[in-house]
Structure formats: C-alpha cells, structure tokens
Amino acid sequence: VEKIEEQLASLRIAKRSTLSEEPAYLLDIDISKPAQSESSRFVAVSCSNKTIRVYNRETLNFLREYSSCPGILNGVRFAHTCDSIVFSACSDGTVKCWDVRVATQKAVQVFSGYPSNVFISFDINCSDLIICAGTEKVEKDTFLVFWDARGITNCATKEPLGVYSESHNDDITKICFHPIEPNLVVSGSTDGLVNVFDINKDNEDDALVSTCNSDSSVSFIGWSGRDYKQVYCMTHDEGFCWWDIAQLDTEEPITLLHVLDVRDTVCIENDSLHYLVGGLYHEKADKLFLIGGTSTGNIHLISCGTDGLSLVGTLCGGHSATVRSFCWNLTDESLLTGGEDAQLLLWKPGAVEMSLAKKASMKIASSVQKRVRVHNSSLKSRKK
C-alpha cells in the first residue's frame, strides 16, 4: 500500500481537455482496451447533454461526438477485443454501438429492448459476447435485458436474447460483468439489493448466485479481491458495503465491511469528504480503494480494509466542482477524472502540466438534475 500511496502522491495533472462550446457534466469515463502492442488510444466520456465524446487518450484532443437526442445516453464502455468500438445505453430502450474509426454520427449497431424499456445502466462482458442493460421501473416492472453482441453488422437492429424480471423491484442503477469470468454479472438497484448472476444457467432462479442487501439505494458496484471473488457497492447516501462471495458455501460471514456513512468515518485533516464517486481494485497490490471528493473539486483516495477505511491521499488543484467520474489505468498508473466543471483531466505520476491554471466553476441549468441522481451532500452525522 505504501507504494500505491507514493504513486498517488506523485500524481500531477498532465493534460486538460479544452472546454467544449456546450459545457456539460462528465458522468462516466472509459478508456479503450489496448491493442496487442499499443497502449490505450481513446477515452470516451458520457455527458449530461445527452452526448458521448471521444478524445485521444494521450493528448485529450477531441475526436468525435455521438448524440442520441431525444434519448439520454447512460454510461459508456469500450469493447474488450476491439479498441475502436464504444457502447452506451439509451433511455429510448436501446443500447447503441459506435465505431470511432468511422466518420458517421450513426450507430453501427442498435440493440433494441422492449417497448416500455428505459435503460439507465449497462455493461458488456469480458469476452464481448453478451450485453446486459438495466431498466427504470415502469409500473411494477424492472428488467435486466440481454443481447448477443457478436457480429456487429451495419446498423442492423438486434432483438434481446431474453430478460430477468424477478430479482429487483426498483430502478436497476448499475450493472457490472466480472472482469475475467464472462458468465458472471452483478446488478445493483435503488431497492438496495446487489445480485450476482451466473448467466450460463437456464433460468433466472437458478442463475441468481447471491443476493446482498446494502439497505440503501445503490450508486456504484464493482468486483475486487484475488480472482475477483468479492463484490462491493456504494449507496446514494454515501454508504459502503463489501462482501466475499467465496464464503457463500461456508460458515463464515460474507460481509467484510458495512459503513453506513463514509463521510462520518474517514478522518481528513483540514478538509472534508462530501461524496463517493466509485471504487477501484488494484490487482498488483491486492487492495481495494474508494474515490471520493469535495464539492470544490478535491479528490480523496481511501483505502479499504476489513478493519475499516482510511485516507491514502488527496489530489488538489484540478477540478473546481464536484467530480462525477474517473477511470484508473493500471498499465501506466494514470488517472482520468471528469466533473461538474466540464473538465476532463489526465493525472500521471510526476507529470508537469503545460496548460493553464484551474478553470472557474461552472453551473449548469438544473434540468440536468432531473435525470442524474445528485449526491446527497448534507453532512449531517448519523447515529450509528
């Protein structure tokens, strides 16, 4: 962990993206998976103005923009086996796929759901074979919808393979496939449940491997631990839960840690923690970290242990408003962050920033807030 702390302490802003003509919150970030001999080439960012923006990974120069108006795009993911293919879920009941190499604005593939579907979360599995998207609750229904992702054909629309409809009873806010097991997927919902499925099974009942209860609305989920046998989640009221799925068939408890409000438990001198953004598992260090921050743009890296949470370090001077998204690149230990100041920042160990100083804060009309769940920033301490 000390080595990680040193790396974090040495992170400096290497690049900033130039502000676009229509500034927007940067809600989700992904980087393309490296081709055989190269490093990652592209960064894709999901924005609050219903667009996906693609940048050069090294220079942060703007390359492409994709829109799905009037639909709202949610989340962004690159394919694992082709570094130019990027996906996003859409509120119009589709998952759309674009090819960065092609100049057209049109999606090269559309995966269509059922008429009432409004997709707010999605992921693609590590073998690029299956896409899964989660819906908002419509009347009494919430669905996990699955498609066969193989053979991207020019603008053909693909119908679903099937759905899971019994395991959640509210909006499915997050979906995350296992990093190395293509048949395992975890879903999180505003119903508080975090469900792990083995999609190789014949039906939904058999597929449900475990149900963990976070007791609150789920805002982020991920896999961690050796062989990724652990699942963790964050909640919209800044709680944190961490479970060991490997203990399911043993007498050991599966809960590794449950923190009702991380803001009350992490000590930060001369600063505070207002919200959590997400988590990252560092394979080499076999360590789980959480990323949180302040409304003024400071970024805190927090170390997770079964004995609790502790601050590893803080990145200052980058963002001027709430940080909403990040992407950690283990190959070069760099970090990308995006925020409500409409800035995309690339942090690298020991970098020297050549561009201008921190941009002023930028406020956007509140119509954004109707669609995007905003972190609860009240700092009321809770009774444990």
Query: In this predicted model, what pLDDT tens digit does every residue of 140-179 receive, in sequence order?
Result: 889 999 999 987 666 578 899 999 999 999 999 999 999 9
Tell me the sheet residues that pair with 275. 293
Tell which residue, 380, 283, 233, 313, has the closest CA to residue 8.
313
- Structural element, H or E, at residue 346: strand 344-349
Instruction: Round the CA-based radius of gyration of the chain to a whole number and report it.
Output: 20
- The domains of the chain, with CATH numbers, are 1-349 (2.130.10.10)
Tell me the sheet residues that pair with 174. 188
* Average confidence (pLDDT) over 255-260: 96
Tell which residue, 318, 336, 324, 341, has the closest CA to residue 375.
324
**Top-ranked range on mean pLDDT: pick from 95-109, 119-133, 255-269, 368-382:** 119-133
CA dihedral 15, 224, 80, 327 (to 10 degrees): -10
**Burial bucket for residue 141 (CB in 10 Å: 0-12, 13-18, 19+):** middle
pTM of the predicted model as reported, rounded to 2 decimal places: 0.89
The confidence score (pLDDT) of residue 364 equals: 42
Query: In this predicted model, what pLDDT tens digit does every residue of 227-255 receive, in sequence order?
Result: 999 999 999 999 999 999 999 889 888 99
Query: In this predicted model, what pLDDT tens digit does every residue of 67-79 receive, in sequence order?
Result: 988 888 989 999 9
Beta carbons of 257 and 214 less than 8 angstroms apart: no
Cα–Cα distance for residue pair 341/23, rounded to 1 Å: 8
- pLDDT-based confidence at 263, cuts 50/70/90? very high
Of the chain, the percentage scoring pLDDT greater than 70 comes to 89
Query: In this predicted model, what pLDDT tens digit does every residue of 351-368 receive, in sequence order?
Result: 876 544 444 444 443 333
Residue 344 predicted with pLDDT over 60: yes
| Three-state secondary structure call for residue 368 | helix
DSSP letters spanning 78-103? E-SS-TTEEEEEETTTEEEEEETTS-
